[in-house]
Structure 1
């Protein structure tokens, strides 16, 4: 399937050779090949070639959108001539719930042309894709040019209107069967199954009238000794789709960053620099463990029984910053309601940093000194030391915790 972008977003014909996008069947996904004029304006983004670059839309870029109209779920793929890429999963218009996914992408340039080839895994496509659009952007300042495969019809362009690539009503029908054959079935996607879980959480009107936020400071080690530095601060805030967890902490950079991709789950994150919060139903011993790392990795575990994780490495919307405030790091995560066990009533939080004999384990609610036995070490799963916590303290007394199909399958 070959597409040529011959108009600007407002149906004005372009004045250069068109961008060509070719879609081909490939092992494990769809191959997207781009041939385009190379303007080299703006210059290359400051990120490493071959890696995701958030905000790529502000540079020279070609984009393709694959949409399920009925559910308004869509995949956005952005490719740049300098080798950068950006993959976004969106649920409802402009609502990004997964960003910076890895992509196999190669690009090359000449003085006047650039070519790129990317393999889009089937896992990234929403179920039942039936519409498509594509775009190209280049230029700086007043020369910034926005082009569209399916533009706004000339008669519908209004004075003062600006380009908007999320006008889903302008997308046109598209079918993988043209490429793959009538008998082919789009593979299922575990990524989009998680989106389905989040979308089926019932909304509670009380969510729009939150009571307050809660802030905790970790001032002791696991064995009740006072920490010798500025304490880690954890703040919980209300959000319609879940609980916001914000972390402010000194940045020790010890151990160094885990070998996993920032923004992705990393099993074994507890062996690195990390801040953790646990949310417990004390009656059933079901609990949620959330681990956040200053380098951008995260780990979400669902546990039923002490130390018994039955789900792990769940996706998480998490962003972190270790550069804007020297010596500190800040992180913000949105923990979906689907991850919390029913009737959370207890909580504890922890922080870990350091290597070897310098490894430090800190606890919001530590083991009392009189209860520490000889030779005992840190154990963050001592649920008897958790203390009272209620999500209604944040969400309001009228709020009811949404049910979760994740926990319906717990052991």
Structure 2
């Protein structure tokens, strides 16, 4: 009896099998059919050793055909079971037969990566401020303009602030302060702000415009033709109307109105912030000092060496009277009248403190906000600051001495005044 030799078909079948599930399932069904046919012609010989019996069984039923060569049998077995692990490797990669035990090559540990400046600051909860036209990004989280607006100090692009993770503001860590730290390779983006600009209607259109400010210190105030158009449709939900007073921010690249035209509204002021119809606050009554000494004689011995001393006080008529105190110690006097709070802006304080060598704050007749801003800007620009409890020659002289020597800002309570 002669049966058909399925070997070559089986080899072709396995060679043409793809790696997709459908092809593998089809090959499995074909193999099952071939095995069932071969088992049908099995003569049921006893199986002492499964591998030799099977080889004898298939050879007896195919004795009229060409016997399977060892090479073909090896190929068929490789296709059915896959090559052995030793055969699967290329000859070049097989280890040479040797009695020497190979040792694994030691792996050198990677050198620790040097931490960046931002990572070192983050260890102390200090983070870089990426200021936007509205709001800021700090530690990969967005702080809205409403949060920044209620801080007691301004923050700008490139500042490094300290966050308080124990205190939350609208679900975000609170901003405690602005530090004097800077990121070496970070170039801050210049953002200009047009403050207290009134929205006005444009005849014959639905858009609004700003053409001047209440402070008179912006780009718009330089010429009557300088205007910026505001499209209300760009600000849904704000319900912009003529008469509103806004702060308008833009990235200042030195192109004037072209840069301003690409800006955005930063803040809409409430009416009480700019209402000029309310009654002005009554000026505080300052007690007149009797027996005022017109000829000042210094009591402390120190030399300012022509360095500038900024004296901030709310007693207007004493600003010039303090000039001899600084002159007697060979310093340059610079007085700042802070009697009218609305005339002392944060930018003005920052500019005055930045140009001074020492800062003296007389706190007896100024608003608390001004003293806070002065303290903030003095720390920011690393200017020595001292507090005088009263606006007098002796108190200012002692405060300058403390600032010069690096002593505490406030006078010791037990300190005697001559």
Q: Which has the higher contact order (CA 8 A, sep 6+)?
A: 1
Task: Specify which structure has the higher proportion of strand.
Answer: 1
Highest Rg: 1 or 2?
2
TM-score, scaled relative to structure 1: 0.23
TM-score, scaled relative to structure 2: 0.22
Task: Specify which structure has the higher proportion of helix.
Answer: 2
